[in-house]
Amino acid sequence: MKGIPRKLESVLQKARQRIFGEAVDLKTVFGDFKAVLESNNRALEVITDMGEKLGGEYIFDIIYIKKAYEELYADIRNSVEQFNSLSHSRYPIGNTLDRIDAAIKKALYEEAPAFAGRILFFGDITWEAAREVGGKNYHLSQMANSLDVNVPSGFAVTAHAYDEFMRHNGLDAKIEALNSVGYGDDDLKGIREAISDGELPEPLGAELDGAIEKLRAALGPDAFISVRSSAEEEDSEFSFAGQFATVLNVPLQSDAVRDAYKKVIASLFTSAAVSYQKRLGYAVGGMRMPVGCVPMIDAVASGVAYTVDPATGKERLSISASWGLGESVVAGKVDPDTYVFEKMPALKLAEAKVGRKESMISSSKAGGTEESATPEDMRARACLSDGQVAELAERALKIEKYFRRPQDIEWALSADGNLYILQARPLRAASSGERGKTRSVEEFSGQYRALVHNKGNVVQKGIAGGKVFVVKTVDDIEKLPKGAVLVAKNDSPQFVRAMPFVSAIVTDTGSTTSHMASICREFKVPSVVNTREATRALRDGQDVTLYVDDDGNYAIYDGLVDEILELIERTGRSLEELYEFRKKKYIMRFISPLNLVNPLADEFTPEKCNTMHDILRFMHEKSVQGLIDASMKAAGKGALKRLEIAIPTGINVIDIGDGLSDSSGSTVKLEQVQSEPMRAVLNGMLRPGAWHSEAVDLNPRDFLSSMMRMQDLTASVDQSTYRNVAVISREYLNMTLRFGYHFNLLDCYCSEKAANNHVYFRFVGGATDISKRSRRIRLIAEILKEFGFISSTKGDLLIARLSHIEKAEALRVLDMSGSLIAFTRQLDAVLGTDSDVERFKQAFLAGNFGIHS
């Protein structure tokens, strides 16, 4: 560009003096950087090994997991020390490591919980308190604190409070005695009665009363709440759906809330709940019961949303809705309205059905709930408007995206038209491993007589054969023979008591979103609901075969069909159902998940690191930034050698290790450059047509704009050297460039190990008006996006990153980056309209650099 104002030169000179004022030993910094990467890589290898061992392919014991974690911790601790040296202890990452290490060791060595809080309001629940408040409370608090969705804001009574209550009433000793000598239903009933008669310890009672008063002040004296179970592992890998009590519509008064609290914790000791816990490896009393106290939504309509099809695993979002409270849906008591959305490529309503909704459950003005027949004029009317259905689907997708896995969501619509999320938990859906059968139902239907065929809804795929046992009352469950096909009019979570023994479950009514359905999927019990005719079509004692194919079609055939039953995979008890295995998987939640994804986001901080993997990710990205900063400061020091190439870049080179084949002399030729990333960038810059030497005349408006934005340029000087310098080694390049009013920074590490590699691209500046400069920023960002970069833009500033790429791909990207720097160098002056952005983008991607002219 022509005519750089003297004022700007003076500003940039002062900036260089500030930046280069601190001496930097760049070789030492580079050594620290590589040491951090090496320690990180060793730690990631340990995490990978632990993940593979926990995948179910290996048999191992707790000794392995302890030894592996000791190795992992040593590597990460070493990496933290090297990172602190590199970053001058700028980030409190050591505190984060100590926090996560304490949680892992508490689980690994079964140390007594250090947590001592009794009451936590949702806004105060942090990640470390997840187990203390239980899965249900924790998920609600996450949505309340981090997502733009309506969540009733209440409080949790913690597991620590539960321990205090049990000790205070002598129940821990009674339960220990039961596990020693054995127990029956009467013994469990005795525990429940003792809980009901128990007294809250004075400190717990005082804190609970204080929390109640705080809610009364916010909601009003006549408010009601729901008191809900939130057991330690509830709504985690296993949902415990319908196993524990929820007391709805509780007056916000001390006595009523205390009674409801005791009712909820007593539900740990029902026969069905104990059977469920026993199946998962828990002794009686082995699980603790946090409790949630949540404002009651006086629901006009309620229901459930599933973000995938649980029977097939297909990306289809379904919504079930009924009038009143959602209990009628989750208990499988009604034929609800159903809506099915295709999720890909965009959310689109595919199916809609208005159910009969013959009954409904409502809040009673005196407290509690009441069931009644749905008024005739409401039965055939949809509960939700089209807009409300669409809004609910969008929120369900948002929740799924936040938790990064399929979700089972309970919701309610209030009288004022607001949608509330009452619960979100992981949804267990069919996996690819459950879709291994290759024959369709239709193939068999031509050979064998189908008693029931494709009526209702498949809950869990599978194959089963056995004698029909019709359950008419809950007491019949006790008589159910092993291997029977349980047939009932309604579905019920009480059937969990039979799930270790039954081969399948089939019901006349119910929905795929009921509590029983959730449990069938967890235990992989083949099941079909809402058939309308199972109790009529299937006779007690009759031999039948149930077959559900890969497409979700099913038939129940007369007799035991050997050809179908031979397809059953006899895998025995699933490893993931074993308590020790789940305990180790619980430990892995502190180790392997990666939550810090975007290094350009505001939440990319040590405080947001929740796993060891997050710590490694944070240190890697900030180590890159530390190396960039150090290279920028070193650019004004050391032995600068001028690079002589065919285009006038004015680049000076600093070699910090095998970047040049010959370090003698004051100039460097292209053939002397051994730095692979540097050669790739130069190859891109030298591509025929990419570099345009012709000066661009600024029109008066653009020249005035350049003079007016002096302060903007000055504000950015601490982030760029504004001197054409390349700091290089064989695998590393940090290049700072200034061409007129345009300022580039390119930093990259390019090695044989993909986990170490990164490319950082920064651009700011231009002499034209803001609209043209912004168009160039958008053009650069869109081109970089084509190559996998994530970027952040603000005005005429762009920062983009790419990491974890193979060496060959990194070199390809760097070659492109060199061409991009050359191609866009003076391009803002000719980007007159928005349509020019797409035109120049396509030209660049096609290698048509002559479009400038």
Residues marked active site are found at 515
How far are the Cα atoms of 240, 310, 490, 516, 517 from residue 521, in angstroms, in the given order?
12, 8, 17, 9, 6
Residues shown for the chain:
853
> Measured between alpha carbons, how far is 23 from 592 in angstroms, rounded to an integer?
39
- Between the alpha carbon of residue 215 and those of residues 210, 221, 369, 447, the distances in Å are 9, 9, 21, 64
Identify whether the C-beta of residue 385 lies closer than 8 Å to the C-beta of residue 417. no
Residue 196 burial (CB count, 10 A): 12
Rounded (5°) CA angle 574-579-585: 85
Q: Which residues of 88-114 are buried (b: 16+ CB within 10 A; e: fewer)?
A: eeebebbebbebbbebbbbebeeeeee
Instruction: Give the integer Cα–Cα distance in Å for 401 and 577.
Output: 26
Peptide bond into 345 cis (omega under 30): yes
Supply 762's token pair. Answer: 């920064």
Phi/psi at 608 (5° precision): -90, 0
HEC string of 428-490 equals CCCCHHHCCCCCCHHHHHCCCCEEEECCCEEEECCEEEEEEEEECCHHHHHHCCCCCEEEECC
Q: How far is it, in rounded angstroms, from Cα 429 to Cα 419?
A: 25
- Give me 531's structure tokens: 């058939």
DSSP label at 660? B
Cβ pair 336, 511 in contact under 8 A? yes
Output the DSSP codes for 382-420.
-SS-HHHHHHHHHHHHHHHHHHTS-EEEEEEEETTS-EE
Distance CA 712, CA 716 (A): 7
Distance between CA atoms of residues 288 and 277, nearest Å: 11
Rounded Cα–Cα distance for residues 114 and 725 (Å): 53
The two tokens of residue 611 are 């796993």
